[in-house]
């Protein structure tokens, strides 16, 4: 049964490029450029915050793959895998630290 | 619903970040005490599921997008405190690695999606499911209702956090320092997106996956989704 739940997650990860089909940005998540277009100016706080934290792969895009639609989709798919792996790892470390060193059942495979 | 940095004042972020510290502490204590070993891998899988489902942006008629979160699903299967931890970890990686949600606003986003959402959705589910057995039609429908309510209350919290910014924080010339939209714009915008579209996606995802878990791994799901 744990295997079937992993299959569900892997299928979900493979389908993530479908999540890019919707055009536009979520409300309140505009970048500085979008804001200039929408409100006509960039509030000071947003302008200052724009540069303080640089994510490794901003907006789930992997710049080293290149530009364009196909690269964007591949980058999104790889981001799904990278993020899933990191989260699984962090959760495993967390549960080992918090719940203790009890023997954990090892899942067969991970996505 | 991932509030980026700059949209909220540092004081708003620090306040809700400070609220989150005892919540995370309590969540860890409850998880340590009550989560049995067999369910531990499912907590990690729940976090991965939440991360992946949030990547499926759905179009909103006003030209924006929204997405489901998965918090209520985790709360029903593993308990709301486990959902606090799992969704917080997913949100942390989203902010750190992908810039989805601000690092300073991480506490706020966790408050909305990893606390308000799993708890309200979970208690809504309990109320709607009554004494129905896990996996029964009533429990599955109740899970969907829980997902719908939880997501919308999280969206409302985010809308309020956005909307109070121009009331509280303006530059000397009166222009907003942070989110430029007040409550009268933020609440309708966020609620239209989530009441009309994303809420139904969340309801469907919650109901279907909870049904799937009850069917394939009934020993994982808490009996009737209760306790823990």
What is the β-pairing status of strands B65-66 and B58-59? Answer: antiparallel
Taking CA–CA distances from A57, the nearest residue in chain B reads B98
User: A9-24: per-residue pLDDT in tens?
Assistant: 999 999 999 999 998 8
Interface residue A40 vs chain B (CB under 8 A): no
The ipTM of this complex is 0.92
Residue B193 pLDDT: 96
Residues B163-206 pLDDT 10s: 999 999 999 988 999 999 999 999 999 999 999 999 999 999 99
Residues of B with Cβ-Cβ distance to A60 under 8 angstroms: 55, 98, 100
Residues 6 or more apart whose CB falls under 8 angstroms from that of B141 comprise B128, B207
* Contact yes or no for B6/B178 (Cβ under 8 A): yes
- pLDDT tens for chain B, residues 1 to 228: 999 999 999 999 999 999 999 999 999 999 988 887 778 889 999 999 999 999 999 999 999 999 999 999 999 999 999 999 999 999 999 999 999 999 999 999 999 999 999 999 999 999 999 999 888 999 999 999 999 999 999 999 999 999 999 999 999 988 999 999 999 999 999 999 999 999 999 999 999 999 999 888 887 776 544 443
Query: What is the Cα–Cα distance from B86 to B52, expressed in whole angstroms?
Result: 13
Residue B96 tokens read as 């750190």
Structure tokens at B220: 């994982």
Residue A37: the pLDDT is 85
Provide the shortest C-alpha distance from residue A36 to chain B (in Å). 11
CB contact under 8 A, B67 and A50: no
Contact residues on chain A for B220, CB-CB shorter than 8 A: 1
User: Does the beta carbon of A45 lie under 8 angstroms from any beta carbon of chain B?
Assistant: yes
**Local mean pLDDT, 10-residue blocks, chain A (111 residues):** 87 96 92 85 88 86 88 95 97 86 52 45
Q: Which residues of B touch A95 (CB under 8 A)?
A: 31, 40, 43-44
Which element (helix H / strand E) includes B205?
A: helix B199-216
Provide the pLDDT for residue B69. 98
pLDDT at B201: 98
Identify any residues that bridge with B58 across adjacent strands, giving them in sequence order: B66
Nearest CB among B3, B100, B177 relative to A28 is that of B3
Number of neighbouring beta carbons within 10 Å of residue B21: 10
Cα→Cα distances B70→A78, B96, B146, Å: 21, 20, 11
Angstrom distance (rounded) from CA A53 to CA B41: 32
User: What confidence score (pLDDT) does residue B14 get?
Assistant: 97
Q: What does the pLDDT read at residue B228?
A: 39
């Amino acid at each position: 049964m744990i295997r079937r739940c992993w299959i569900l997650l892997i299928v979900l990860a493979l389908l993530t490029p479908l999540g890019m089909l919707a055009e536009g940005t979520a409300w309140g998540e505009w970048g500085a450029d979008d804001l200039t277009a929408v409100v006509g100016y960039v509030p000071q706080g947003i302008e200052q915050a724009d540069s303080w934290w640089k994510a490794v792969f901003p907006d789930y895009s992997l710049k080293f793959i290149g530009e364009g639609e196909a690269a964007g989709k591949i980058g999104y798919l790889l981001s799904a895998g990278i993020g899933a792996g990191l989260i699984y790892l962090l959760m495993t470390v967390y549960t080992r630290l918090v719940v203790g060193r009890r023997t954990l059942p090892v899942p067969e495979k991970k996505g | 619903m991932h509030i980026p940095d700059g949209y909220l004042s540092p004081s708003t972020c620090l306040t809700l970040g400070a609220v989150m510290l005892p919540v995370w502490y309590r969540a860890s204590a409850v998880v340590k005490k009550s989560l049995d070993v067999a369910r531990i891998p499912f907590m990690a899988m729940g976090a991965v599921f939440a991360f992946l489902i949030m990547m499926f942006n759905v179009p909103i008629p006003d030209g924006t997008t929204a997405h489901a979160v998965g918090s209520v699903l985790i709360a029903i299967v593993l308990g709301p405190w486990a959902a606090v931890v799992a969704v917080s970890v997913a949100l942390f990686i989203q902010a750190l690695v992908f810039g989805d949600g601000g690092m300073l606003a991480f506490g706020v986003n966790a408050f909305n999606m990893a606390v308000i959402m799993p708890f309200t959705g979970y208690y809504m589910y309990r109320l709607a499911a009554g004494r129905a057995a896990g996996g029964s039609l009533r429990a599955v429908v109740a899970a969907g209702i829980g997902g719908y309510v939880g997501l919308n209350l999280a969206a409302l919290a985010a809308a309020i956090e956005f909307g109070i910014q121009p009331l509280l924080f303006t530059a000397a010339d009166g222009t907003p320092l942070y989110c430029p939209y007040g409550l009268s714009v933020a609440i309708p915008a966020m609620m239209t997106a989530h009441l009309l579209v994303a809420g139904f996606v969340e309801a469907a995802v919650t109901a279907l996956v909870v049904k799937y878990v009850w069917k394939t791994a009934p020993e994982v799901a808490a009996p009737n989704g209760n306790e823990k």
